[in-house]
């Protein structure tokens, strides 16, 4: 199975035409990598894949970046590489080759500097987000993409298996995070994109990351970690630990949280609106009296980005479909005291949901 198949480029061109755009302009970032497999470096020099609704796509690339482009998966797509020199104007080059166009889609992560220069080069062209074209394709993962997410899930599970060895009273969050970050790379990731270690009251801040706070006996610790694999596909998983005997009130609401996460995962199946998965988790927590302490959405899509569509949140009526991959991560956070979160990545299948994270979800006492 090809992770970046040639057929994807044709599908993108068809989607561009179907959405009424004349062309997509994709600079380095997840959109470009999704279409071509080329993990290009974002520079002030313009690299831009041009995918017309009609006609042949081409890749505009600085001449000094041409060898890297030619060694990337993009070289297997049969597209023309248009190299430009330091004294050339690559924006004028794109405009001249496209001709008189009215609507273009720009990569969602394109730098403003590049978007504005493209606007100057094509003043009649209305600029829109390429995401409106690519969202349907990127949301529904192919079997190869699902396999890549499984690999990422297994790799981050292996790191969580080591976390109890790192969590000791008297160590700081930063010291623990340093060990975890090294383990993430050792497990096969390209990098540790994020390491959240929230001990005691810091666990009540969902995106706390790390500090020099010393972990005390009896404290819960929220550990949320992940990063990209060589495939480009990302991991993201949270487990909550307790160093020593846990507080009684914490044990009580952790059981509620575990039930909410389990119910939400069990509710995944084709046709269920994204917001319903959020509602399932939220109902369990609200009925137990902790509703005000669940302060974020239940989940986010994942793939070449840690956060992408679909979002598992109230108001998103998008029905789940086979191939959609997303987190299910309800949390309960008591300000000034402690917090807890359980997170798995779930893939919607033809009949239900498949978790790619399989570490125990019971409270882990170390």
Residues 63 and 197 placed together within one structural domain of the fold: no
Q: Is residue 261's pLDDT more than 90?
A: yes
Total domain count for the chain?
A: 2
Share of the chain above pLDDT 90, in %: 99
Q: What is residue 337's predicted lDDT score, i.e. its pLDDT?
A: 96
Q: What is residue 12's predicted lDDT score, i.e. its pLDDT?
A: 97
Residues 90 and 55 placed together within one structural domain of the fold: yes
Q: What is residue 209's predicted lDDT score, i.e. its pLDDT?
A: 86
- Give the closest residue to 334 by CA, choosing from 288, 290, 277: 290
82, two tokens: 């248009």
Distance (Å, rounded) from C-alpha 207 to C-alpha 200?
Answer: 14
- Interval 184-237: pLDDT, tens: 999 999 999 999 999 999 999 999 989 999 999 999 999 999 999 999 999 999
211, two tokens: 């500090």
- Interval 315-328: pLDDT, tens: 999 999 999 999 99
Confidence of residue 79 (pLDDT cuts 50, 70, 90): very high
Q: Is residue 111's pLDDT more than 80?
A: yes
State phi, psi for 120 to the nearest 5 degrees: -65, -35
Confidence of residue 22 (pLDDT cuts 50, 70, 90): very high
Last residue of a domain, one of 79, 104, 137: 137
Confidence of residue 2 (pLDDT cuts 50, 70, 90): confident
Residues 331 and 260 placed together within one structural domain of the fold: yes
Any idea which residue has 């798995």 for tokens?
344
Q: Prior bond to 226 cis, omega within 30?
A: no
Q: What is residue 211's predicted lDDT score, i.e. its pLDDT?
A: 97
196, two tokens: 């959240």
- Interval 30-61: pLDDT, tens: 999 999 999 999 999 999 999 999 999 999 99
The set of residues, in sequence order, having a beta carbon less than 8 Å from that of 273 and lying 6+ positions away, is 316, 317, 318, 319, 320
Residue 155 lies in a domain: yes
Question: Contact 334/204 with Cβ under 8 angstroms?
Answer: yes
What is the reported pTM? Answer: 0.95
Residues 146 and 71 placed together within one structural domain of the fold: no
Residue 4 burial (C-beta neighbours within 10 Å; 0-12, 13-18, 19+): buried
Q: Is residue 15's pLDDT more than 90?
A: yes
pLDDT average, residue stretch 83-97? 97
Q: What is the dihedral of CA 224, 229, 233, 238, to 10 degrees?
A: -10
Distance (Å, rounded) from C-alpha 324 to C-alpha 18?
Answer: 22
Computed over every residue of the chain, the mean pLDDT equals 97
Last residue of a domain, one of 84, 113, 137: 137
Distance (Å, rounded) from C-alpha 338 to C-alpha 340?
Answer: 7
Q: What is residue 361's predicted lDDT score, i.e. its pLDDT?
A: 97
Distance (Å, rounded) from C-alpha 240 to C-alpha 357?
Answer: 14
Q: Is residue 1's pLDDT more than 80?
A: no
Residue 211, domain CATH = 3.90.230.10
Q: Is residue 348's pLDDT more than 90?
A: yes
Residues 171 and 316 placed together within one structural domain of the fold: yes
Residue 2 lies in a domain: no
Residue 37, domain CATH = 3.40.350.10
pLDDT average, residue stretch 75-92? 97
Q: Which residue range is the domain that position 43 belongs to?
A: 7-137
Q: What is residue 338's predicted lDDT score, i.e. its pLDDT?
A: 97
The set of residues, in sequence order, having a beta carbon less than 8 Å from that of 182 and lying 6+ positions away, is none
Q: What is residue 354's predicted lDDT score, i.e. its pLDDT?
A: 98
Residues 11 and 60 placed together within one structural domain of the fold: yes
pLDDT average, residue stretch 272-289? 98
Distance (Å, rounded) from C-alpha 323 to C-alpha 353?
Answer: 10
């Amino acid at each position: 199975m090809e992770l970046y198949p040639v057929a994807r480029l044709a599908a993108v061109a068809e989607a561009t035409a179907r959405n009424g755009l004349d062309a997509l302009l994709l600079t380095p970032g997840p959109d470009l990598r999704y279409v071509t497999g080329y993990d290009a470096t974002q520079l002030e020099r313009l690299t831009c894949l041009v995918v017309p609704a009609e006609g042949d796509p081409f890749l505009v690339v600085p001449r000094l970046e041409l060898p890297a482009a030619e060694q990337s998966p993009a070289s297997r797509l049969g597209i023309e590489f248009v190299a430009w020199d330091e004294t050339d104007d690559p924006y004028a080059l794109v405009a001249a080759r496209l001709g008189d166009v009215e609507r273009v889609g720009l990569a969602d992560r394109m730098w403003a500097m590049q978007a504005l220069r493209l606007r100057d080069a094509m003043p009649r062209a209305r600029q829109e987000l390429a995401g409106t074209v690519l969202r349907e394709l990127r949301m529904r993962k192919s079997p190869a993409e699902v396999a890549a997410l499984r690999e990422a899930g297994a790799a981050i599970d292996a790191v969580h298996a080591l976390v109890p060895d790192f969590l000791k009273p008297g160590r700081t969050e930063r010291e623990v995070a340093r060990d975890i970050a090294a383990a993430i790379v050792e497990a096969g990731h390209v990098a540790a994109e994020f390491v959240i270690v929230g001990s005691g009251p810091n666990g009540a801040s969902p995106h706390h990351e790390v500090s020099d706070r010393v972990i005390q006996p009896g404290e819960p610790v929220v550990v949320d970690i992940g990063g990209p694999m060589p495939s480009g596909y990302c991991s993201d998983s949270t487990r909550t630990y307790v160093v020593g005997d846990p507080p009684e009130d914490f044990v009580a609401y952790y059981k509620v949280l575990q039930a909410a996460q389990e119910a939400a995962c069990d509710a995944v199946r084709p046709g269920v609106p994204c917001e319903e998965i959020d509602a399932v988790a939220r109902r369990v927590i609200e009925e137990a009296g902790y509703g005000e302490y669940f302060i974020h959405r239940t989940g986010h899509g994942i793939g070449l980005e840690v956060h992408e569509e679909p979002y598992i949140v109230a108001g998103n009526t998008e029905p789940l479909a086979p191939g959609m991959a997303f987190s299910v991560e309800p949390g309960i956070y008591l300000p000034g005291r402690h917090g807890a979160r359980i997170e798995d990545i779930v893939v919607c299948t033809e009949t239900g949901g498949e978790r790619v994270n399989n570490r125990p979800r019971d409270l882990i006492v170390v």
